[in-house]
Structure 1
Amino acid sequence: MNSEIKASVVLRVSADRSRCCGYGLCAQLCPQVYKLDEDGLVYLEAETIPAELEADAREGAAACPAEALSVEAIAG
């Protein structure tokens, strides 16, 4: 993917808080995207993230033992 196309890609991140077990691996791997509340459960400050955070966001989602996180590309 060339840089011009990649720059126009926006990613949607979603978190199913009902599935979150509070391990915090996502926030350790990608604190720019995944945050933990006072109970240790994941929350997102934004529903969309820039393409430059894709690798870290996907790594954080993949590390979730509860599979509570997803990252998908949407048109920018």
Structure 2
Amino acid sequence: MNAHVDKDVCIGCGLCPSVCPAVFDMDDDGKAKSIVDEIPSEEEASSKEAEESCPVDAIAVQ
């Protein structure tokens, strides 16, 4: 699985790194970013929770 953040949609609320800090972080531009190429298996559930929690649906976890 991998995670992608659409920076054109992201509003920089910071929810995803608070839910799943092993996969998401905030970038210098104030928007979220994925910090891993492949989501570790133990982080799959929390990365999906971050995807579902995003208020603007900027995250895709596949």
| Residue aligning to 2:29 | 39
Query: Gapped runs of 5+ residues in structure 2?
Result: none
The percent identity for this pair of structures is 35
CA distance in 2, matches of 1:40, 1:14: 16
Which aligned runs of 4 or more in structure 1 are off by greater than 3 angstroms? none
Query: Gapped runs of 5+ residues in structure 1?
Result: 1-10
| Residue aligning to 2:8 | 18
CA RMSD after TM alignment: 1.1
Task: Give the TM-score taking structure 1 as reference length.
Answer: 0.74
Task: Give the TM-score taking structure 2 as reference length.
Answer: 0.88
**Aligned to 2:17, what secondary structure does the other structure show?**
helix
CA offsets, 1:6-58, max 9 Å, x none? xxxxx121111110001111010001101102332011122321221111000
CA distance in 1, matches of 2:41, 2:50: 15
More strand by share: 1
CA distance in 2, matches of 1:37, 1:15: 11
